[in-house]
Amino acid sequence: MAMCCTRAFAFEISGAISESVAPVTQIVTAQNASAPEHVATQNILAKNVLARNAPAQDTNAPLVEPVNAAATPAAISAAIPDATPVRPLFNREKTALFLWIVFIGAAVTVSVWLAKSGRPIKIRRIAALEAVDNAVGRATEMGRSILFVPGIQDMDNIQTVAGLTMLGRVAKTAAEYDATIQVPTCRSLVMEAARDTVRASYLSAGRADGFSADRITYITDDQFGYVANVVGSMVREKPATCFYMGCFYAESLIFSETGNAIGAIQIAGTAESSQLPFFVAACDYTLIGEEFFAASAYLSGEPAQLGTLRGQDIGKFAVGVLITLGVLAATILAVAPSSAVISALLYGLQKVLGG
């Protein structure tokens, strides 16, 4: 009986304590929910209490691991050498090219100096250029016009520039012979350049009053629209002489066949190798490749142009000789592989030619 009373009394005390602690717990919970900063403060205090109760550590042990001075970024950067590539002053792989440039430059310089000093420079005869005067004279005798087609490309094409150089010579001869020259173009800039060229030629011939800008016309940028206009003009007017000087493509055969059908003397010049067979087959004279570009030096006779042409020919001749030696050396080496001299010669030629 006494034990039961004691247990009942203990339960009453614990219940009272629980009832008294519950409001405090609710207050703390509410404070924790409303004040996160208070919770953080309690966490810090708890950590401090745990730190006091923890066993004492060895005071002689270092608190922080020592840093190796040799492993710092500054030390590592100082230990690694500078990896920036340094370009050499002279690229030995381009030695052969450098020697060729020096050789050709020296040949051109010496040739120009010899030409200006009065020494004659001989250039082989080009039949197409020799026939210019006869072709213009034939048009004058027949009382018919001269047709000059400067190609179908703009002024950024070197063949168009070479064609306008030929136009200057043809226009000057036409002015001296009092012949009419027609120049249809397919680029407006080419038209302006052609007008300036023909005007200068007439002025140099002393026939400034014979120049007419209306004979140098712009047709269209369209390739075959331009071809149709020029061919129609050829059929109607039947020019006695036709010059085709410049860059041509599919229209080369159309022009040359039409000119051949009307019985005109035709002189053509282009660097387009795919169109040369048509001009050679249908025209009376044809400037092939480099002959077309050498026409200005051939016709003008200026020392600077003649010297430049001769210097370039010297360089081409030297390249041809080296290529011939290389072919012979390779052939002999294929027949007699044990020839050390030929092997060395072939290796040297490959280096000189940039192989």
CATH code, domain carrying 197: 3.40.50
pLDDT tens profile 218-262: 999 999 999 999 999 999 999 999 999 999 999 999 999 999 999
Structural domains counted in the chain:
2
Q: Tell me which long-range contacts 86-94 makes (C-beta under 8 A, separation of at least 24).
A: none
Closest CA to 244 of 231, 236, 256: 256
In degrees and rounded to multiples of 5, residue 70 shows phi and psi of -75, -10
Residues 275 and 329 in one domain: no
Residues paired with residue 182 on neighbouring β-strands, in sequence order: 147
Residues 224 and 318 in one domain: no
Residue 46 lies in a domain: no
pLDDT interval class at 289 (50, 70, 90): confident
Is pTM, for the whole model, over 0.85?
A: no
User: Is residue 9's pLDDT more than 50?
Assistant: no
Residues 214 and 334 in one domain: no
Question: 214: Cβ–Cβ under 8 A, 6 or more apart, which residues?
Answer: none
Q: What is the mean pLDDT of residues 119-140?
A: 87
Residue 148 lies in a domain: yes
- Longest Cα–Cα distance of the chain, Å, equals 161
pLDDT tens profile 69-98: 555 555 555 555 555 667 777 777 778 788
Residues 112 and 236 in one domain: no
Residue 43 lies in a domain: no
User: Is residue 46's pLDDT more than 60?
Assistant: no
Residues 243 and 145 in one domain: yes
Last residue of a domain, one of 271, 293, 315: 293
Residues paired with residue 147 on neighbouring β-strands, in sequence order: 182, 242
β-strands 146-149, 216-218 pairing:
unpaired
Closest CA to 230 of 186, 189, 184, 265: 184
User: Is residue 302's pLDDT more than 70?
Assistant: yes
C-beta neighbour count of 198 within 10 angstroms: 26
Tokens found for residue 59:
């005071």
Residue 231 lies in a domain: yes
Residues 104 and 170 in one domain: no
Domain that includes residue 215, residue range: 127-293
Residues 131 and 279 in one domain: yes
Residue 338 lies in a domain: yes
Residues 243 and 159 in one domain: yes
Closest CA to 187 of 147, 236, 154: 154
